[in-house]
Homo-oligomer: A and B are copies of this chain.
């Protein structure tokens, strides 16, 4: 009787200790030990320690993440571009004029260069225009269907399998420490929301992105929102702090990006009072992912790198700091 009771206590103690150990062991197992990993942990520990001069109350623990190139692979082209290319092909039979009209003609010939010619803003506007006409619920279903089947041109994996394992760990680690994690992306808000909760644990109301205007109307007696072929908001560069203020209404205390398009978000985050954390993911691993940065066309990281050095922001090298890049890879 006595033995049984002690065994039960020992078992209970073992369970409790194992749980505590597992938690204490390593919140970021896919990160190599080094200054980048340590800077993340140091920041989280100081803002969450009660009584610390850097302590931040839970409601103010806001962290924002760029998506393309920060949470998932954006090469050879941003995923949403492949989605748009497929949309153009799907819709082409209803648009015979596209055969001679750019950028559609190039796209239908399998050459995405025409699409890229207008630069980043032109790209987003074009994306938005090809995404319009549906109700928001129809569009959500189109995205869900596409994202569950479309494959990366080089790896043949689903795009949602090409998210960065080390960043999934950062998202989970922050949330386990009372942070609300937000996505702040130049990509379309309604292109991300159908899958960010499942893939990143980020619910739709914590996704900020570029958008088309929508209009409330009755269709067959049912109230719907119709997507209009008109840009509502372009969530890039100086637009990112604007979008953050519009959606969150608080200055983040941590921000994560990978290009100069994220610079203003990092500046805005870093300039608040109290402890702040800014991190750039640096794409320097041509073997396991892609190497690009200073001179890239769509996702240049140039001014941002200089500013990171000057301000002491963390720069995480994919090559040196990440044990694995994608989920399920061997360490």
Contact = CB atoms under 8 A, between A and B. Distances in A.
Contact of A271 (B180, B223, B246, B247): B223
A185 interface: no
A223 B193 contact: no
A57 to B, nearest CB: 11
Interface in A128-158: 136
Contacts of A297: none
Nearest to A140: B249
- Looking at A216, A248, A271, the one whose CB has the most chain B CB atoms below 10 A away is A216
A216 B268 contact: yes
Given A59-B197, A59-B203, A180-B205, A223 B247 contact: no
Q: How many copies does the complex hold?
A: 2
A206 B180 CA distance: 12
A271 B222 contact: yes
Interface stretch (A96-104, A237-245, A281-289, A319-327): A237-245
Complex A-B, nearest 10 residue pairs according to Cβ-Cβ distance, in ascending order: A204-B249, A216-B238, A223-B267, A193-B249, A205-B248, A216-B241, A223-B268, A223-B271, A225-B245, A214-B242
27 contacts: A59-B197, A59-B203, A62-B205, A180-B205, A189-B246, A189-B249, A190-B249, A204-B250, A205-B205, A205-B206, A205-B250, A214-B245, A214-B246, A215-B238, A215-B242, A216-B238, A216-B239, A216-B264, A216-B268, A217-B238, A222-B271, A223-B264, A223-B268, A223-B271, A225-B245, A225-B268, A247-B247
